[in-house]
Amino acid sequence: MGDARRERAVRRRARRGQEYPSPATASRARLRLVLGAGAATTLASWTDVEYGTGSFTSARFATESSVNGGAYADNSAAPGGTVTVAGPFAPGVSAYIPVLIRTKPGSVAGTVSLGGATLGGTDASTLGAALVYRVVRTTGTCAASAFAGSPTFVVGAAGTTRALTAGQETGVVSTLAAATPTVAGTPTGFCFEVTLPTGAANSLQGRSASATWPFTAVSG
């Protein structure tokens, strides 16, 4: 009996040792928890933010034109610069009209294209429809001599004319030079040759018509 009680007592003490860890073991467990909490706090970090600001100013693009030797003006509304062709305008006779276009001071560079004319006047459908024209690019004298040799044609070609309502030829590019802040850009010149063809009908005598051509300028 005595031996049996002692054996049961030993078993009970062994079980208590498993359920209740020793003070040293408990301290180590608490120490591990504290270290774990301390390690978690190292994940935090400081933050800072930097900003950059840009200021932008758009470019300026503006043009002006001179027609038939007149002063440069902002001819942005029809009819724009005008010239009257009268007098000995008969079959086989041509009239020559110079047009200069340039950028205004402070403007960037660009290109300009010539569109077909809008016909007007009392006899737009008769005289206006009968007239033909050509255009070359030049800042020199605008006369028959401007069409001799190998000029740069904008409308028509050597020996080829177009109706007034036709615009520039495909592939033509006319550039406009940039201006300085205080000086206008170098002009781009156009010489118009308007002709009443040989063999025009007698019924066109004493008629009048007008033609308004648009020049469209684009920056870039």
Domain with residue 147: its CATH number is: 2.60.40
For residues 20 and 65, the model is more confident at 65
Residue 30 phi/psi, 5-degree rounding, is -65, -40
Confidence of residue 59 (pLDDT cuts 50, 70, 90): confident
Q: Does 93 reside within a domain?
A: yes
Domain count across the chain: 1
Task: Give pLDDT, residue 219.
Answer: 94
Instruction: With a cut of 70, say whether residue 26 has pLDDT above it.
Output: no
State which residues form the domain around 117: 63-219
For residues 48 and 69, the model is more confident at 69
Instruction: With a cut of 90, say whether residue 5 has pLDDT above it.
Output: no
Helix (H) or strand (E) holding 136: strand 132-137
Q: How far apart are CA 216 and CA 220, in angstroms?
A: 13
Q: Does 11 reside within a domain?
A: no
Task: Give pLDDT, residue 54.
Answer: 76
Task: Give pLDDT, residue 201.
Answer: 94
Range with lowest mean pLDDT among 69-78, 80-89, 114-123 = 80-89
Neighbours of 184 (CB within 10 A): 18
Instruction: With a cut of 60, say whether residue 213 has pLDDT above it.
Output: yes
Residue 197 phi/psi, 5-degree rounding, is -60, 150
Q: Does 183 reside within a domain?
A: yes
Task: Give pLDDT, residue 87.
Answer: 64
Q: Does 104 reside within a domain?
A: yes
Q: How far apart are CA 38 and CA 41, in angstroms?
A: 5
How much is the pTM?
0.75
Q: Does 148 reside within a domain?
A: yes
Highest mean pLDDT among 34-38, 67-71, 145-149: 145-149
Q: Does 22 reside within a domain?
A: no
Task: Give pLDDT, residue 6.
Answer: 62
pLDDT digits (tens, 9 = 90+) for 167-204: 999 999 999 999 999 999 999 999 999 999 999 999 99
Neighbours of 50 (CB within 10 A): 4
Q: How far apart are CA 187 and CA 176, in angstroms?
A: 7
Q: Does 155 reside within a domain?
A: yes
Question: Mean pLDDT across the stretch 134-138?
Answer: 97
Q: Does 173 reside within a domain?
A: yes
